[in-house]
Amino acid sequence: MAKPGNFNPEIHVRDFRAQYENVRVGSDDLISLDGRKTESLNGKWNFMPDPLEYVLRGAWYREDRYDDKGREKPCDFDFESWPLMKVPACWNMERSDLFLYESMGTYFRTFGYRKHSDDERVFLYFKGAIYRTYVFLNGEPIAMHDGGSTPFAVEITGRVKDQNRLIVAVDASRRDDRVPMTNSDWFYYGGIYRDVLFVRTGRTVIKDWFVRLVPGSGYKKIAIDAEVDGVLDGKGRFSIPELGIEKEIEFKGGKASAVIDASPELWSPENPKLYDTELEYDTDKVSSRIGFREFKVVGNDIMLNGKSRFLNGICVHEDHIKLGKSTNDDVIRETIRVAKEELHATFLRLAHYPHSQRFAEIADEMGIMLWEEIPVYWAIDFTNPVTMADAKNQLSELIKRDRNRASIMIWSVGNENPDTDERFAFMSGLAEHARSLDPTRAISAACLVDEVGEKIDDRLASKLDIIGINEYYGWYDPDFSKLGRVLKNSNPDKPVIITEVGAGARSGNHGTEDMLWTEEFQEAFYKKQIAEISACRFIKGMSPWILIDFRAERRFNKYQEGFNRKGLIDSDRKTKKKAFYVLSAFYEELQK
């Protein structure tokens, strides 16, 4: 087909995004950040909403300002004159006119570079941008990434100059083939909402390292696997000084594995012991504080370090009344403190997408167990290989990012999808993939009850280690008596966690316990649920929905006003509802 012969051919192009597929990056491109000195590119960037995606469609990133004879052409962009936007931040929270904006936003900034060594390699590392991200450096496309909550890296060695022009286009639009898809039950923020880093390494870079206690070793063996890029064959050094470990490990073809005798003090919520751990190879070095514990399933029991545990937990969304989906250490620490010290929880389900990497790092330090999951949520396109590739890549990026964190006990491959043949194949594939990346943790998913048979019966359970069940008897289904029948009719051969259960209440709205949306109704609901759940032999944990009220775009009655009000704490993160104290008393009794 002949190309249009006019001077603005981009107006005729429909599939203008396809040309950027050749710079797609994913889990194979990640590098480890552990212990590295990095340089921040956070701050004020120039920003403009770009709903027609002209940075792509019209190739604005080329900054093509002159014709072949040097004559200036009129341009529709002027990056340096655009308003400033904070990075990291959700654009929804920075400008009121962008509160409901769900399309492309284009960011611009410059940065300088001076080489520190002749063999230096340099990378850009993005910790999170919602949802699809395109990166352009000095007029060239260098990366495209899918996944709003997992990190990505792109090497820019040889492309970086003394002075550089960086353009990042972030597409927050919803599409049916993506993960998550178009319909969800949380606020869909947009923007570069986590850190952007400039990373320098030597000629060799440690891409990944996985350190853990060997399951079934009697807590007396530590294993390490590592992968490098650069010099692929040689000897490295692995050390844990407090345990007297300093071992030479051999790399062949860029990979190394070793098992080392050791007797570490075990990590638990009651004793969150961490060890300074380091891997050095060729010109590179990574380090982290790592804990060692063994988490496994035996029949209907959940075992941590050989002792049966009930996971007394709560669900948490990464949503803040002022910050949106962005967060910081103070917010994370206070969330964990309230959950652990005031609610007496030992377990958090981080819903419904990967939260900040700092959450798991701080959970390691403060001592609380975690469930982490990817947003395979509701009506995902289970027949689409593009969707499967997206989900699999996000799962890989999450596990590679966080598998050195002792606090993480469970990887979840999804939430609330129906038991169909297509879904079974899709979710089974994800479960198997998660297990191949990390055989030391339990694999789960938040499943739905078989409402016809009134029992826990999901084919996916055969692929899981722990069965997650979301149930709202007494709320969405007003007939609370069904819960008793479901539990009586069920006989799973694995432990069950009630991954969601809850009722809405507007903080400060009072009435009788029969009135919806009152604190009294929510309080009575929790009392009934706890009585039924605690008497069931195969339920080994619960994470009610949810700790804190959060924004949700489909919830607009007079009590919700754009928020899911099932939180035990108001969206102000201070005001506790009456049901908070019911669950707190139950969890405190469990710990005695």
Q: How far apart are CA 441 and CA 90, in angstroms?
A: 32
Amino acid at 16: F
Identify the residue whose tokens are 């949802």. Answer: 131
Q: Which residues contact 152 (CB under 8 A, 6 or more apart)?
A: 25, 26, 29, 30, 125, 126, 133, 143, 145, 397
The answer to whether the Cα torsion of 259, 263, 267, 273 is positive or negative is: negative
Q: Which is nearest to 147 in space by CA: 107, 179, 106, 101?
A: 179
End-to-end CA distance of the chain: 76
The phi, psi pair for 249, rounded to 5°, reads -125, 145
Q: How far apart are CA 569 and CA 319, in angstroms?
A: 13
From first to last of the 592 residues of the chain, give the pLDDT tens digit. Answer: 445 555 566 667 778 899 999 999 999 999 999 999 999 999 999 999 999 999 999 999 999 999 899 999 999 999 999 999 999 999 999 999 999 999 999 999 999 999 999 999 999 999 999 999 999 999 999 999 999 999 999 999 999 999 999 999 999 998 999 999 898 899 989 999 999 999 999 999 999 999 999 999 999 999 999 999 999 999 999 999 999 999 999 999 999 999 999 999 999 999 999 999 999 999 999 999 999 999 999 999 999 999 999 999 999 999 999 999 999 999 999 999 999 999 999 999 999 999 999 999 999 999 999 999 999 998 899 999 999 999 999 999 999 999 999 999 999 999 999 899 999 999 999 999 999 999 999 999 999 899 999 999 999 999 999 999 999 999 999 999 999 999 999 999 999 999 999 999 999 999 999 999 999 999 999 999 999 999 999 999 999 999 999 999 999 999 999 999 999 999 999 999 999 999 999 999 998 8
Residue 264 exposure: Cα atoms within 13 Å on the Cβ side: 32
Q: How far apart are CA 106 and CA 134, in angstroms?
A: 9
pLDDT of residue 1: 43
- The alpha-carbon radius of gyration of the chain (Å, integer) is 25
The answer to whether the Cα torsion of 518, 521, 523, 526 is positive or negative is: negative
pLDDT of residue 15: 84
Amino acid at 284: D
DSSP for residue 370: E
Q: Is 255 in a helix, a strand, or coil? A: strand
pTM as predicted:
0.96
Q: Contact 328/559 with Cβ under 8 angstroms?
A: no
Apex 94 CA angle, 177 and 334, nearest 5: 85
Across the strands, what pairs with 290?
275
Q: How far apart are CA 135 and CA 127, in angstroms?
A: 14
Q: Which is nearest to 497 in space by CA: 424, 567, 427, 444?
A: 444
Strand pairing class (539-542; 563-564): unpaired
pLDDT of residue 4: 53
Provide the angle, in degrees to the nearest 10, between the axes of the packed helices 329-337 and 357-366. 50
From residue 275, how far is each of 220, 440, 461, 526, 575 by CA, in Å? 15, 19, 35, 39, 37
Q: How far apart are CA 492 and CA 464, in angstroms?
A: 12
Tokens of 213: 């206690």
Ramachandran class of 138: left when φ > 0, alpha when ψ lies in -120 to 50, beta otherwise:
left
pLDDT of residue 23: 97
Q: Contact 477/483 with Cβ under 8 angstroms?
A: no
Cis check: omega of the bond before 51, within 30 degrees of 0: no
Q: How far apart are CA 19 and CA 23, in angstroms?
A: 9
- DSSP characters for 518-570? SHHHHHHHHHHHHHHHHT-TTEEEE--S-SB-EE-TT--STTTTTEE---SB-
Amino acid at 34: D
From residue 293, how far is each of 274, 497, 570 by CA, in Å? 10, 21, 35
* 3-state DSSP of 175-196: CCCCCCCCCCCCCCCCEECCCE
pLDDT of residue 211: 98
Tokens of 1: 């087909």
Ramachandran class of 221: left when φ > 0, alpha when ψ lies in -120 to 50, beta otherwise:
beta
Q: Is 420 in a helix, a strand, or coil? A: coil
